[in-house]
Amino acid sequence: MITGVGIINPIGLTKGQFWDSLSMGRSGIRTISSFDASALPTRIAGEITGFSGKDYVDKKERKSIKIMSRSIQLAVAAAQLALDDSGIDKSQLDPARFGVEFGAGLIASELEELGPASQISANCRPGVVDLQQWGSQGLAHMPPLWMLKYLPNMLACHVSILHNAQGPNNTITENDVASLLALGEAYRILGRNLADFFLVGGADSKINPLSLVRHSLFMPLSHRNESPEKACRPFDRGRDGIVPGEGGGVFALEELEHARRRNAHIYAEVVGFGAAFDRKCDGTGLARAIRVALREAGIAPRDIDHVNAQGFSAVASDVWEARGLQEVFGDCNPPVPVFAAKSYFGNLGAGSGTSELAASVLAMEHGQVPRTLNYEDPDPRCPLAVITGQAQPVRRDHLLKISFTEMGQCAAVVLRKWQ
Amino acid sequence: MRRRVVITGMGVIAPLGNSVDELYNAHIEGRNGVDFIRLFDARRFPTQFAAQVKNFDLGQYVKEPERWADSGANSRFAAAAAQQALADADLLDNHKVDRTRCGVYLGSGEGIQDFNNLVSLIAQTYQASERKVNAAAFAREGLRRFHSGREFEQEAHTTPGHLAAYFDLEGPNYNCLTACAASSQAIGEATEMIRHGDADIMLSGGAHSMIHPFGMTGFNLLTALSTRNAEPGKASRPFDLNRDGFVLGEGSGMVVLEELEHAKNRRAPIYGEISGFGTTADAFRVTDSHPDGRGAVACIQQALDDSGLAPSDIGYINAHGTSTQVNDKAESVAIKKVFGSQAYAIPVSSSKSMMGHLIAAAGAVELIISLKALNRGVLPPTINYEVPDPECDLDYIPNVAREQRATHALSNSFGFGGQNVSLIVSRFRG
């Protein structure tokens, strides 16, 4: 059972703001402001402004902020919000049955921390570093706990330490599909009766010089710098690539009886999960993951209210995503509506799956599914019923969320509205 | 009854062996795999030695090594270990097996950053007076200097992705990275996936190398590594009074996990069974494990409960045994808490005394050594054990292997941040 939602997102630092932006069609994609991005081919992003991790931790824990990179801070904050939203009194929780599971990405080094050590060890010759200088002099100029800021498992570890969660604890590092795999695994662990309560989700930030240089080199990013709000356009014929973003999305996931005993508000129930590898990147593996999740949920494709898509806004992957969806939903009449949350805030990497799913969880709560932004000229190679124009009322009890990577790792989760 | 999960294939690339038999035999002989670092110039680092993989050529294992041309050592080791494990289990090009029911769950490390380009570029663009890097200059040059393929291959999902694509494993595909517990956690969760019916076969394990400038820097800054530069071969000395930190290793361990009936039906070799899995968090500190072994105790107990075995059934413990002051003491305390007075009767050893710490890959390789020990009836020693520590007073199989029959082994893995995983592996009995 999902009993809490915590969101730190370019379109809102609370669940309320997040929903307001979704229902008003307000994009969070802007020109990058946190550093000078002028030399990058992509100068726009779903960037969070006005966020500070220390606002989300107790005073006595604030010194630990120093060893939290931005991804960790986003995770800690979203986890705190999810916990608050669940209304749980931590003293009611058995620490041994309180789990934490996150999807996390590669965390880029903060360049400044390496500045003095680098200058001691390298002069102006590109690609040449004097390792003897680095080893003998450079290290002294780096913070002792340097590495701990960048270990991907530190998202889940800090959350477990801050909340005394001594139960199962895992970190999935599987790029864009990571947080959905984490959710699926936490759901399985609850099913094995090894926990009562989980904080599960993902957080990631690529809005820094090193990550954006790296991603510019190997990822098809959008270059639509002159119109940021129009840049992320999943399934639209004019899409030209992925828009990077940052954020965290965390759920409180709780066993039913545990939630009932404390009269918790239940948003939705996880009823199906599937994962697969799409070896040829042609949608077959994606369709397989979806079928597994639907079968576990005991429902047919037509029972799905809407699909919360991956919708990268990339030229190639949107096509094979559509093909996978067609394979499962092609016979549905009327067609199953599709919503692509990235159109609002870009690609949150390892944090994307659960952040995007949060939009659908709130949609079930409010009775309407937001429209997908920038869907203006349907791409005939993506024959999907993308929700456009205006929000659409919720008509059915189940929704499907899918995530995948460009290499072919796929996951699908089915939620049921709680009655 | 729940689905039973057996091991039908194993493969390793490790400092003391590039095959399971070579590795196990080296460990039984008590050989030392630690020496001065040759991968880069570490002569002025606080720690100048490590346990490196030797004579490794990916082309000996796969037909298309160029697929991994831009990959880091982690992915290359993974490919070679996976090839061994899948060949062992008769799963290479075996189309009688439904490939959509075969998944991958690794606990593999990240790729290796382009140290020379990154550091020289920061040196060039860092403005010391303002303590800022000129981001525009960094980006402009970075786009020219960094290699797109090598940058992509640092992403952690590429390691399991390549294995799935190359070896045709179309089921669920995961990578977890819980520091030094990762590959054990992967094997545990992969076992659960088979038990639950999410797959019939899972290729699982891990791969990692942190023997590179940033890796050494990070661990040296944490003062976690031994600095016994005068005698590297004596540096990894788990449970010895004079231990002063761990020694970095590198490599990969892979197992093929398979549902028992599935394995029987296709007459696959059955080497052993995963009978118990436990995982907990210390929720204590990011740097230190809990001094009373709080999370470790709960974790070992959970693995025992999962297996349905009594503490007295455990005949061998392959310890996490890092050779740091804190771990070895806390782990000994935890073993005594769970096993009580019987703890003194159970032989415990640390494979890290010989091959160092393979970080994310450690647990998988150590599980394989444990299973070989059960099947051969010879338990590997803890080498460099010279001066007993009064606070570590268990039977650590000092220095010399021991012929001793055991049916069930416990393998522990604990990681930075308070990650604990215990696996119980058993000799196979139909």
> B165-196 pLDDT, tens per residue?
999 999 999 999 999 999 999 999 999 999 99
| Minimal C-alpha gap between A322 and chain B (Å) | 19
pLDDT on residue A349: 98
Q: What is the pLDDT of residues B239-279, one digit of tens each?
A: 999 999 999 999 999 999 999 999 999 999 999 999 999 99
- d(CA B166, CA A383) in angstroms, rounded, equals 31
Q: Containing domain of residue A201, as a range?
A: 2-110+145-261
Residue A114 pLDDT greater than 90, yes or no: yes
pLDDT on residue A397: 97
Q: What average pLDDT does the structure give for chain A?
A: 97
Same domain, residue pair A157 and A60: yes
Q: What is the pLDDT of residues A91-109, one digit of tens each?
A: 889 999 999 999 999 999 9
Under an 8 A CB cutoff, do A174 and B160 touch? yes
Same domain, residue pair B55 and B135: no
Under an 8 A CB cutoff, do A118 and B119 touch? yes
Same domain, residue pair A234 and A358: no
Q: What is the pLDDT of residues B33-43, one digit of tens each?
A: 999 999 999 99
pLDDT on residue B353: 98
Tell me the CATH number at A311.
3.40.47.10
A178-191 and B182-196 helices, crossing angle to 10°: 60
Same domain, residue pair B22 and B129: no
Number of domains in chain B: 2
A198 occurs within a structural domain: yes
| Minimal C-alpha gap between A15 and chain B (Å) | 27
Q: Which of B208, B290, B357, B408 is catalytic?
A: B357
Q: What integer is the mean pLDDT of B99-117? A: 96
pLDDT on residue B1: 81
* pLDDT band at residue B430 under the 50/70/90 scheme: confident
A22 occurs within a structural domain: yes
Residue B326 pLDDT greater than 80, yes or no: yes
Close Cβ partners of B21 (under 8 Å, ≥ 6 residues apart): none
Q: Which of A215, A237, A261 represents a domain boundary (last residue)? A: A261
Q: What is the pLDDT of residues A296-306, one digit of tens each?
A: 999 999 999 99
Same domain, residue pair A97 and A236: yes
* pLDDT band at residue A221 under the 50/70/90 scheme: very high
pLDDT on residue B239: 98
Same domain, residue pair B84 and B187: yes
Q: Is A153 on the interface with B (CB under 8 A)?
A: yes
Same domain, residue pair B17 and B131: no
Q: Is B320 a catalytic residue?
A: yes
Q: Which of B152, B179, B210 represents a domain boundary (last residue)? A: B152
Residue B107 pLDDT greater than 80, yes or no: yes
Residue B124 pLDDT greater than 90, yes or no: yes
Under an 8 A CB cutoff, do A173 and B161 touch? no
pLDDT on residue B175: 98
Chain A residues near residue B156 by CB distance under 8 angstroms: 106, 152, 173-175
Same domain, residue pair B249 and B126: no
DSSP H stretches of helix in B309-402: 325-339, 352-355, 362-376
Same domain, residue pair B163 and B245: yes
pLDDT on residue B357: 98
- d(CA A19, CA A39) in angstroms, rounded, equals 34
Close Cβ partners of A38 (under 8 Å, ≥ 6 residues apart): B136
Same domain, residue pair B286 and B331: yes
- d(CA A341, CA A292) in angstroms, rounded, equals 23
Same domain, residue pair A94 and A169: yes
Q: Cβ atoms within 10 A of the Cβ of A397, count?
A: 18
Residue A124 pLDDT greater than 80, yes or no: no
pLDDT on residue B292: 87
Same domain, residue pair A62 and A154: yes
pLDDT on residue A419: 82
Same domain, residue pair A190 and A51: yes
Q: What is the pLDDT of residues A317-336, one digit of tens each?
A: 999 999 999 999 999 999 99
Q: What is the pLDDT of residues B53-78, one digit of tens each?
A: 999 999 999 999 999 999 999 999 99
Q: Containing domain of residue B130, as a range?
A: 115-152
Same domain, residue pair A125 and A31: no
Q: What average pLDDT does the structure give for chain B?
A: 97
pLDDT on residue A395: 97
| Minimal C-alpha gap between B374 and chain A (Å) | 28
Q: Is A373 on the interface with B (CB under 8 A)?
A: no
Counted across chains A and B, CB pairs separated by less than 8 A come out at 309
Of B131, B136, B284, the CB nearest to A38: B136
Percent of chain B exceeding pLDDT 70 equals 100
pLDDT on residue A61: 87
Q: What integer is the mean pLDDT of A191-210? A: 97
pLDDT on residue A147: 96
A266 occurs within a structural domain: no
Of B124, B219, B281, the CB nearest to A165: B281
pLDDT on residue B290: 86
Of B121, B196, B298, the CB nearest to A96: B298
Q: What is the pLDDT of residues A35-87, one digit of tens each?
A: 999 999 999 999 999 999 999 999 988 889 999 999 999 999 999 999 999 99
Same domain, residue pair A16 and A104: yes
Residue A130 pLDDT greater than 90, yes or no: yes
- d(CA A397, CA A306) in angstroms, rounded, equals 10
Same domain, residue pair B45 and B132: no
Q: Is-above-0.95 flag for pTM?
A: yes
Residue B287 pLDDT greater than 90, yes or no: no
Same domain, residue pair A43 and A126: no
Q: What is the pLDDT of residues B372-403, one digit of tens each?
A: 999 999 999 999 999 999 999 999 999 999 99
CB A81, CB A6: distance < 8 Å: yes
User: In chain A, which residue's Cα lies nearest the Cα of B415?
Assistant: A153
* Helix/strand/coil for A416: strand
Chain A residues near residue B45 by CB distance under 8 angstroms: 131, 135-136, 139
Closest CA relative to residue A364, chosen from A415, A312, A303, A296: A415
Q: Cβ atoms within 10 A of the Cβ of A406, count?
A: 20
Look up tokens 């549905």; give the residue: A332
Q: Which of A208, A229, A261 represents a domain boundary (last residue)? A: A261
Same domain, residue pair B26 and B148: no
Under an 8 A CB cutoff, do B135 and A35 touch? yes
Chain B residues near residue A214 by CB distance under 8 angstroms: 146, 151, 154
Same domain, residue pair B366 and B318: yes
Percent of chain B exceeding pLDDT 90 equals 97
User: In chain A, which residue's Cα lies nearest the Cα of B131?
Assistant: A112
Q: Which of B91, B123, B152 represents a domain boundary (last residue)? A: B152
A385 occurs within a structural domain: yes
* pLDDT band at residue A126 under the 50/70/90 scheme: confident
Beta bridge partners of A143: none
Percent of chain A exceeding pLDDT 70 equals 100
Residue A125 pLDDT greater than 90, yes or no: no
pLDDT on residue B288: 80
* pLDDT band at residue B46 under the 50/70/90 scheme: very high
Tell me the CATH number at B385.
3.40.47.10
* pLDDT band at residue A162 under the 50/70/90 scheme: very high
Same domain, residue pair A155 and A256: yes
Same domain, residue pair A49 and A174: yes
Under an 8 A CB cutoff, do A167 and B280 touch? yes
Under an 8 A CB cutoff, do A217 and B46 touch? no
A213 occurs within a structural domain: yes
| Minimal C-alpha gap between B7 and chain A (Å) | 22
Distance (Å) of CA B358 to CA A66, A390, B380: 28, 54, 17
Same domain, residue pair B108 and B13: yes
Task: Give residue B356's region: left, alpha or beta (phi > 0; psi -120 to 50).
Answer: left
Q: Which of B102, B162, B176, B180 is catalytic?
A: B180
Of B139, B198, B281, the CB nearest to A169: B281
Q: Is A167 on the interface with B (CB under 8 A)?
A: yes
Residue B282 pLDDT greater than 90, yes or no: yes
Under an 8 A CB cutoff, do A218 and B151 touch? yes
Q: Is A217 on the interface with B (CB under 8 A)?
A: yes
Percent of residues in chain A assigned helix, strand, coil, to nearest 5? 40, 20, 35
Q: Which of B103, B132, B152 represents a domain boundary (last residue)? A: B152
Number of domains in chain A: 3
Q: What integer is the mean pLDDT of B331-351? A: 97
| Minimal C-alpha gap between B197 and chain A (Å) | 11
Same domain, residue pair A9 and A126: no
Under an 8 A CB cutoff, do A147 and B222 touch? yes
Chain A residues near residue B286 by CB distance under 8 angstroms: 64, 67, 145, 148, 154, 157-158, 161
Q: Which of A141, A162, A180 represents a domain boundary (last residue)? A: A141
Under an 8 A CB cutoff, do B139 and A188 touch? no
Percent of residues in chain B assigned helix, strand, coil, to nearest 5? 40, 20, 40
